[in-house]
Structure formats: C-alpha cells, structure tokens
C-alpha cells in the first residue's frame, strides 16, 4: 500500500515535468533511483519513530463546534462572537477520519522549530499527509473536490478549476476595532517549485463595512509581514528560485525573493513534519519579539458583523499538498484595554504624598456612531478601614470641561470623548490620610467597561495597596572638627523615612559611602554632600558635612628662674605657636596634687612652702 501511494505521487510529478521534454530521461532515471531508495528505507525502517506533528480527525464536530473548541475562545475571553460556521459550503458534521481535509493537530515536544502546540489544520488534500518524518519530497493525497473561488483565483492568477481546495467560513462580531490570529502555511511545493506556476495559494478574507468609509469591502489579511503581498509560494520562499521555477515568476509584481526570513525549511528525514518548509516569525523579529506564527490582523468596526473565509487551494494540479495551521485559541479581538502609568515605580502600591496611578482606558479603533463609557465603583467590595477622600482620592477626565473631576460619590461613569480613542482617571493616597505605624490598607475597585449593546458590560477589578510615607530629614549642615585626623562620621535621619539608598560626594577617604554612619580616614579639610532617598526616589534629603582638620599647636613657655628661697616668685610666660592658641598652666606639688590652674599668658606665682613643684602647660587651637 505504501509503495502504491509512492508511485501515485511520482505520477503527479511526471504530469508536472512532462511539459519539459528534455527532462523526461533524467526523470525516469531519478524515478527508479527514488523508488529503490524509498523501498529500501521501508524495508529497514521500523514504526518506533514518532512524528512530532500528529493529526486527529475533526471528531465528528460540525464546523461551528470545531471553531468554538479549537480556534475562538469564549466571548468573555476572546472579545469575539462567532456564528454560521461551515466548511466547503456545508454546516454538517465533519468526517470522523484523518482522510478529511480539515482536523486537529498536535505538536510533539521535540519539534521546537514549529511555533504552535495545537490547533486546526486545513489542507489541499488529506490532513494525514502532514505528520513526519519528512521522507518524501512530493507527498500528495488526491483531492478533486474543488470549490470555485474567484477571490483565490485572483490571488493565484490561475483558474483553480477542480483542484483540491478547503474553505472554512464563519460570521463574527468583535467588541473592539481589531481581530487577529496566528497561522503557519506549509507546503510540499517548497523549495523546488518556488517561482513556478504551481503557486499554491491560501487567503483569509474578511468581508464587511470598511472602518473608515463604512462601505462593504473584502480584504485578505494573510499577508507577508509589513507588506500587502499575499502569502504564496512565489511571495514567501527560501529567497531562491526553485529547481522547477523561473525568476520571472518571482519578479515583482508576480512574486518576490525578499522575505526568506519568514521561511523555515524542514530537513529531509526530520521527524517534525512531512511538509518540506513552513512560514513563521523568528524569535529575533521585531514583529513579536518571540518565535510565532505569522499574524493575520484585520481592522473592523466594533459591534458590527463581518464574514471570515479561510481558504487554501492547489494551483496548477492536485499534487504536492499544502496546508495551513491555525493556532488554538488565537482568534481574538484586543479587549478595550487599560494601561497603568505609575508616577514612580512601586507596582500597585500607592504612597502618601509620593506617587499616583494614571489609569488609561484605550480603544484601538472605535465605532463613530456611539459613545463608550466606563463606570468605577468604590463600594462593591468591603474595603474595611478605607474611605473615599479620606484615605484615597479618584479624579476622572471630564471631556466636556476638559478637566479632572474629583469622585465624591461611591461610583461614577465617564466616557471616551467622541474625537478620541482614550480617557483616563487618577488614583492617589489622600494628602491627609492617617496610618498606624507600618499599616498597609487594601483598596479594591470595580470597573465596568461598556462594549456592544448586545452584551453585558465587562467587569474588571483593580487592587491597590495604600501606605504612609514618612519624609526623610537629614541635618542641613554638620560641622566636624578634628586634630590631625577624623576617623568617624555619623549623620542622623530625623523624619522616620524609609532610607534605602545613600550616596556621598566625594567618596574620598570614606570607608562606607552607602551608610549614614561610617568610619573614615580624613586628614585634610573636606566638604561632603550626602543624599539619602527611598527606593522609588520619592522621599529624599541632602546634608552638607564640613570636616575641618587642623595641625596641633606647638606648646612652649619660659620661666624667669627655677629655684630660690621662699617666698619664691618666678614669672611664667607663654611662647606657644600659633599665638592665638588657647592654653593653661597646671602647677602640681611633689606628690602630684594639683595646686593651681592658671590661664594667663604671663603671670608671676609665689611658692610659700619649700619643695619640688612641676609646672605643665596645655594648649589647643580654637577648632581642635
């Protein structure tokens, strides 16, 4: 059975190459060579090899069930409502077999090049062609169930006739102005039929009112990233003309060789998949910042019905299958979203007299015929010990007056202005809020976001943590006087603030420039600037530290005579330098008892008792 399938596939190859008579003999030779190689491989291979891409039947689901279960999450998650699903013009249950042209796929853990784990697969033949290994460069499964489609034919520049085609359709309504999903296009036409007439084609057609003009339009959103080119073999390829191609078919506007960065080859023998290559966005692309499928995006009017048609078809013949993989759960509309802009990075914690959160509500696009409103509720959660305008304040943008309005009631509704895509509100701790030491108060708010008239408002919860924030207060100026050397400095913080960071300028001779108390080795007069702040740069203070270091004075004095008869009256005279230094004399008797202390610069002293006396002299400068 396997051998027969192989021969059928090679017959398809003959049909393509019969138009080139000069290649017939080379083909006959290569055919038997291929047949022998494949037959030998089949004889010696085992069935222990497991492909990484596996396929499953549609499980008897209807097209609508397949879409609901595999592509479009529930409306409260996706923001999209879908209806009227059908496959190839039928709403009936899909075949419970892998010989179907549509089904489910799973990606094994080792096929890391492929960006999806699971989803929907749709092929020009049977989905059973997709699983690896890649041991056949021309794998095909016959499908003559062509569906005439003028839109696909226009993209392919070819009449598709009865060629294998698959078409999945549904209606949808989006709550916002954009819909998107991820996909991968894969094909056996790669690489040898790049730039040939076998330009297998697929497209995602969106039909509905133009978001700008309002007129009915149909647009293909399966495009090469950053271009208006449809994703086809001749537009997105390895960047080289295939062995059976011609450069004219890849010369603009017929095709292109410029987008090989979105092309991923599947090496021969790879367990990943049978298709020879597929399209993807590499991890280093600015498009997503990570490895992913290509992105199909469409702009729509919110709350209006559109039609989506996902179609793929063979071009030129029914050989060399192609497939499109749709990522599970990826069809979504970006929600009416909110962004935070904390004035200082502190997560969802709001600090008194310090930071606030500017909460912006944005639309990507809008329905110009209606307004969009938001309601904030402060009383839908207990919020024990937290009072509006005592512990926190909310200000919301008022478009009529172009001002911020302070919330005074438990709830308020505010709108996005008619000429805008966004509005905002500000949440902050009240300036006179009171906190116990170390207390953190929890504030929970409820938001209702209005979307379409047929659905209930979306609910959103905001949680904030409110904290006091004591100021950081350092002494303005500190003067430290030292004689010859200063070896320690202490700066006091007097406000009770949360000091997390400290800097000294300069750091010369400072042993710990990250602390308010530090040992040091300062021998020259120096002025330091010390800054202390919290970890969000909200509270900070600066102190100037003047360190004065002076040389010691040189003490000396003279005495008129050192011995004599009692009463003995010598004269003592200070001769210390510098002359302005402070000094004093200490006169002690023989056993060390201090008899007198005198601070005159020159004086006479009368000794009335015989004995030996010592006179000590102490001096200091005014600042040391």
Q: What is the DSSP string of 383-402?
A: -TT--BTTTEEEEEEETTTT
**Which whole number is the average pLDDT over 73-99?**
91
Compute the distance between CA of residue 234 and CA of residue 256 in angstroms, rounded to an integer. 6
How far apart, in Å, are the Cα atoms of 61 and each of 70, 125, 169, 200? 11, 19, 15, 28
**Which whole number is the average pLDDT over 306-315?**
88
Task: Delimit the domains of the chain by residue range.
Answer: 1-48, 50-327, 337-467, 477-550, 557-620
Distance of CA 580 to the CA centre of its chain: 70
Q: And the tokens for 338?
A: 């909110």
Candidate from 410-424, 467-481, 563-577 with smallest mean pLDDT: 410-424
Helices (H), 72-198: 75-78, 150-156
* Statement: residue 36 has pLDDT above 80: no
Neighbours of 593 (CB within 10 A): 7
Handedness of CA 96, 99, 104, 108 (dihedral sign): positive
* Statement: residue 344 has pLDDT above 60: no
* Statement: residue 369 has pLDDT above 70: no
DSSP per position, 202-249? EEEEEEEE-TTT--EEEEE--B-TTSS-B-BTTTSSSSS--TT--GGG
Q: And the tokens for 454?
A: 């047929």
pLDDT, greater one: 508 or 212: 508
pLDDT tier for residue 158 given thresholds of 50, 70 and 90: low
Q: What value, to the nearest 5°, has the Cα angle with vertex 137 and ends 132 and 143?
A: 80
Compute the distance between CA of residue 222 and CA of residue 231 in angstroms, rounded to an integer. 6
Residue bearing tokens 């379409």: 452
Tell me, what's the pLDDT at 178? 83
Tell me, what's the pLDDT at 173? 94
**Which whole number is the average pLDDT over 418-422?**
79
Average pLDDT, whole number, for the chain? Answer: 83
* Statement: residue 41 has pLDDT above 50: no
Angle between helices 2-17 and 24-44 (to 10 degrees): 160
pLDDT, greater one: 319 or 544: 544
Q: And the tokens for 572?
A: 């003592």
pLDDT tier for residue 3 given thresholds of 50, 70 and 90: very low
C-beta separation of 161 from 152 below 8 A: no
Compute the distance between CA of residue 185 and CA of residue 197 in angstroms, rounded to an integer. 18
Residue 460, preceding peptide bond in cis (omega within 30° of 0)? no
pLDDT tier for residue 29 given thresholds of 50, 70 and 90: very low
Handedness of CA 400, 401, 402, 404 (dihedral sign): negative
Q: For residue 75, report the phi and psi dihedrals to the nearest 5 degrees.
A: -55, -35
Task: Kindly give, in sequence order, each residue whose CB lies less than 8 Å from that of residue 252, ignoring residues fewer than 6 positions away.
Answer: none
Please classify residue 141 by burial: count the beta carbons closer than 10 Å to its beta carbon, then call 0-12 exposed, 13-18 middle and 19+ buried: buried
* Of 61, 74, 105, the residue nearest 329 (C-alpha): 74
Compute the distance between CA of residue 511 and CA of residue 517 in angstroms, rounded to an integer. 10
Compute the distance between CA of residue 168 and CA of residue 104 in angstroms, rounded to an integer. 14
Domain 477-550, CATH? 2.60.40.10
Q: And the tokens for 426?
A: 């500000």
* Statement: residue 30 has pLDDT above 70: no
Strands 540-550 and 526-533: antiparallel
Residue bearing tokens 């509309």: 333
Tell me, what's the pLDDT at 325? 97
pLDDT tier for residue 130 given thresholds of 50, 70 and 90: very high
Q: What value, to the nearest 5°, has the Cα angle with vertex 250 and ends 249 and 254?
A: 65
pLDDT tier for residue 435 given thresholds of 50, 70 and 90: very high
Handedness of CA 88, 92, 97, 98 (dihedral sign): positive
pLDDT tier for residue 85 given thresholds of 50, 70 and 90: very high
Compute the distance between CA of residue 356 and CA of residue 135 in angstroms, rounded to an integer. 61
Highest mean pLDDT pick, 23-32, 193-202, 604-613: 604-613
pLDDT tier for residue 454 given thresholds of 50, 70 and 90: confident
**Which whole number is the average pLDDT over 605-614?**
92
C-beta separation of 391 from 443 below 8 A: yes
Strands 477-483 and 540-550: parallel
Query: Which pLDDT tens digit goes with each residue over 235-281?
Result: 999 999 999 999 999 999 989 999 999 999 999 999 999 999 999 99
Helices (H), 52-169: 63-66, 75-78, 150-156
**Which whole number is the average pLDDT over 404-430?**
88
C-beta separation of 308 from 72 below 8 A: no
**Which whole number is the average pLDDT over 382-392?**
95
CATH top class, domain 337-467:
mainly beta
How far apart, in Å, are the Cα atoms of 36 and each of 11, 188, 548? 16, 21, 97
Compute the distance between CA of residue 573 and CA of residue 156 in angstroms, rounded to an integer. 117
**Fold: same for 337-467 and 477-550:** yes
Give percent above pLDDT 90 in the chain.
Answer: 51
Query: Which pLDDT tens digit goes with each residue over 563-602?
Result: 999 999 999 999 888 877 788 899 999 888 998 999 888 9
pLDDT tier for residue 316 given thresholds of 50, 70 and 90: low
What residues are paired with 413 via a beta bridge?
A: 375
Tell me, what's the pLDDT at 622? 62
């Amino acid at each position: 059975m396997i051998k027969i399938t192989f021969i059928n596939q090679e017959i398809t190859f003959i049909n393509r190459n019969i138009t080139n008579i000069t290649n017939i003999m080379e083909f006959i030779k290569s055919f038997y060579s291929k047949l022998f190689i494949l037959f030998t491989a089949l004889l010696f291979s085992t069935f222990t090899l497991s492909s990484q891409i596996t396929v499953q039947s549609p499980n008897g689901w209807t097209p609508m069930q397949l879409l609901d279960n595999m592509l479009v999450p529930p409306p409260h998650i996706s923001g999209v409502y879908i209806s009227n699903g059908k496959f190839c013009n039928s709403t009936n249950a899909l075949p419970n077999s892998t010989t179907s042209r549509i089904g489910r796929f799973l990606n094994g853990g080792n096929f890391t090049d492929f960006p999806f784990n699971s989803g929907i697969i749709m092929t020009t033949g049977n989905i059973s062609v997709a699983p690896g290994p890649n041991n056949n460069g021309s794998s095909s499964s016959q499908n003559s169930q062509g569906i005439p489609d003028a839109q696909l034919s226009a993209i392919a520049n070819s009449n598709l006739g009865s060629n294998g085609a698959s078409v999945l359709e549904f209606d949808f309504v989006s709550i916002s102005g954009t819909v998107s999903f991820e996909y991968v296009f894969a094909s056996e036409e790669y690489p040898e039929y790049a730039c040939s007439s076998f330009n297998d084609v697929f497209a995602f057609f969106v039909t509905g009112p133009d978001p700008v003009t309002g007129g009915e339009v149909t647009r293909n959103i399966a495009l090469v990233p950053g271009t208006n080119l449809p994703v086809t073999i001749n537009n997105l390829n390895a960047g080289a003309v295939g062995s059976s191609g011609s450069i004219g078919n890849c010369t603009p506007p017929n095709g292109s060789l410029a987008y090989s960065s979105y092309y991923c080859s599947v090496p021969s023998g790879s367990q990943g998949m049978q298709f020879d290559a597929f399209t993807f966005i590499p991890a280093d692309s600015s498009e997503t910042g990570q490895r992913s499928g290509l992105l199909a995006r469409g702009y729509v009017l919110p709350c209006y019905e559109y039609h989506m048609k996902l179609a793929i078809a063979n071009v030129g013949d029914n050989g060399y299958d192609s497939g499109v993989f749709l990522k599970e759960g990826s069809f979504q509309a970006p929600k009416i979203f909110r962004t935070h802009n904390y004035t200082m990075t502190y997560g969802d914690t709001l600090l008194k007299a310090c930071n606030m959160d500017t909460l912006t509500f944005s639309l990507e696009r809008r329905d110009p015929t209606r307004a969009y409103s938001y309601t904030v509720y402060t009383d839908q959660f207990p919020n024990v010990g937290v009072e509006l305008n005592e512990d926190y304040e909310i200000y919301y943008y008022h478009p009529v007056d172009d001002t911020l309005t302070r919330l005074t009631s438990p709830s308020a509704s505010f709108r996005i202005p008619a000429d805008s895509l966004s509005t905002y509100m500000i949440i902050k701790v009240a300036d006179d809020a009171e906190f116990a030491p170390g207390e953190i108060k929890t504030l929970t708010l409820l938001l209702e976001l209005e979307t379409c008239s047929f659905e209930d408002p979306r609910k959103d919860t905001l949680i904030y943590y409110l904290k006091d924030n004591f100021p950081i207060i350092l002494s303005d100026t500190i003067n430290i006087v030292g004689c010859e050397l200063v070896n320690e400095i202490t700066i006091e913080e007097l406000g009770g603030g949360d000091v997390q960071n400290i800097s000294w300028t300069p750091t010369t001779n400072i042993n710990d420039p990250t602390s308010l108390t530090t040992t040091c080795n300062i021998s020259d007069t120096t002025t330091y600037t010390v800054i202390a702040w919290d970890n969000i740069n909200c509270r900070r203070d600066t102190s100037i530290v003047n360190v004065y270091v002076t040389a010691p004075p040189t003490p000396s004095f003279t005495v008129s005579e050192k011995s004599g008869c009692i009463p003995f009256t010598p004269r003592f005279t200070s001769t210390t330098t510098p002359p302005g230094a402070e000094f004093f004399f200490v006169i002690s008797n023989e056993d060390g008892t201090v008899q007198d202390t005198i601070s005159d610069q020159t004086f006479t002293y009368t000794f009335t008792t015989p004995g030996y006396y010592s006179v000590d002299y102490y001096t200091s400068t005014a600042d040391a």
